[in-house]
Amino acid sequence: MSEFPTNPIGPLKSSRPFERRMPEAVICGYARTPFGKFRGGLSEYSATELGTMAVSELLRRTKIDPSGGDIDQVYMGQVLQAGAGQAPARQVALGAGMPHSTPCTTINKVCGSSLKAVMIAASEIRAGMSSLAVAGGMESMTNAPRFVRGSRRGVDVPYGSLISILSHDGLEDAYTGEKMGNTGETCAREFGISRERSDEYSVRSHHLSNTGWEEGWLSSECFPVGEVDRDEGIRADTDIDTLSSLSPVFDESGQVTAGNASQVSDGGSAVLVASEEKAIEIGLPILARIVDYTTSGVSPERVMSAPIPAVEDLLSRNGIDSSSIDIFEHNEAFASASCAIMDHFGVADECFNVHGGAISIGHPLGATGTRCLMTLVNALERTQGKLGVVTICLGGGNAVAMLIERP
């Protein structure tokens, strides 16, 4: 029996006039590690080890023999690749027991890396080039190394001259050098999001994630890793008094704090993407159909607003508006950003990040996209919704967005 919520397998029916000219790409399974705190319970594992665990569990849940050669492609996102060794996605595939013939690709699209992995897998399937693909991501932000510029042989390198890969490649704007937290401040000013509202949103995130675990929705995504059997960052007792007492980190007169920003984390996640025909042929559950996906761009300092044009394009291309979307899943880089997206699209509270998000669950950069996607699939199943959108902003000014449909 499948470990996923199932529906009778058969061609997906839609009441909406989406065009279907190519093979359908569907989601048939998911798995992730719990997300660990920075220097927390997963800190002993490398990114590729976390990715290998997620992919191995995904194949176990979907009853696919990794050695059978059935997987046509493996796409894995990772942002902080320095020191990971050659071809991290390849390490994952071979570590999970796949044959040497398996094609593998590592993707760096910053916070959108693993959702981009799904987009590429879906495109392969729609083009008829693949019928079964693993797409996911991984990150050990704890174990990101440091580097030095301009060193010469035989010259001592003082520790203070070492540059953090975590900060340089993951948390800083490459154009201005400003921290990503400053873009959260820019978003708050542009959209008129108050400190009080950001803190209230953050309390909501923790409470919803805690409820999601207690009711089994988030736990169904995860498997235990050692002694870590739950997302480590969720604080069920978080309250507005605690968060309001925290000082701003990036701007003394600003509002972004450690309490209303996403958490630096470790983790791995993966989903199984198949053609509808292949899923029916081998008896896989069809959890969702991938309807469409897109990428947008704005100026780098306005990156937190980049999901707006991405989602607008996605809705326009499919002849629907935001009121047609049952669940929005937005990566909570900063509370101000999530509040801005909610406001712009007029999304009701009960339709937005209903199981919490990165403020509480954590944000291991390369693993976040497929975590958000599986959480959206779960939320649609719980609420019996039909259409869902997942969107993620990413450093440099881009954003990715995907529209899915529950059968």
pLDDT at 18 over 80: no
DSSP H or E run through 279: helix 276-282
391: domain CATH number is 3.40.47.10
Residue 142: inside a domain: no
pLDDT of residue 185 exceeding 80, the answer is yes
The tokens of 49 are what?
Answer: 């080890």
- Report the chain's mean pLDDT, rounded to a whole number: 95
Confidence of residue 130 (pLDDT cuts 50, 70, 90): very high
Q: What is the DSSP letter of 166?
A: I
In a domain, 334, yes or no: yes
Domain membership of residue 399 as a residue range: 290-405
Residue 21 has pLDDT above 70, yes or no: no
Question: What's this model's pTM, rounded to 2 decimal places?
Answer: 0.94
What is the mean pLDDT of the segment spanning 265-273?
99
Nearest-angstrom CA–CA distance, 124 and 168? 32
Query: Of the ranges 11-20, 175-184, 291-300, which one carries the lowest mean pLDDT score?
Result: 11-20
The mean per-residue pLDDT over the stretch 362-371 comes to 98
Does residue 305 lie within any of the structural domains? yes
139 in a structural domain: no
Kindly state whether residue 333 falls inside one of the protein's structural domains. yes
| Residue 10 reports pLDDT greater than 60 | no
317 belongs to a structural domain = yes
> Which residues are the active-site residues?
111, 363, 393
The pLDDT score that the predictor gives to residue 178 is 94
Domain assignment of residue 217, yes or no: no
| Of residues 191, 137, 230, the one with CA closest to residue 335 | 191
Residue 313: C-alpha distances to residues 204, 290, 297, 304, 393 (Å):
29, 16, 11, 17, 15
Alpha carbons 25 and 126: distance in angstroms, whole number: 6
173 domain residue, yes or no: no
DSSP H or E run through 207: helix 195-214
Question: What does the pLDDT average to over 13-38?
Answer: 82
Q: How many domains does the chain have?
A: 1
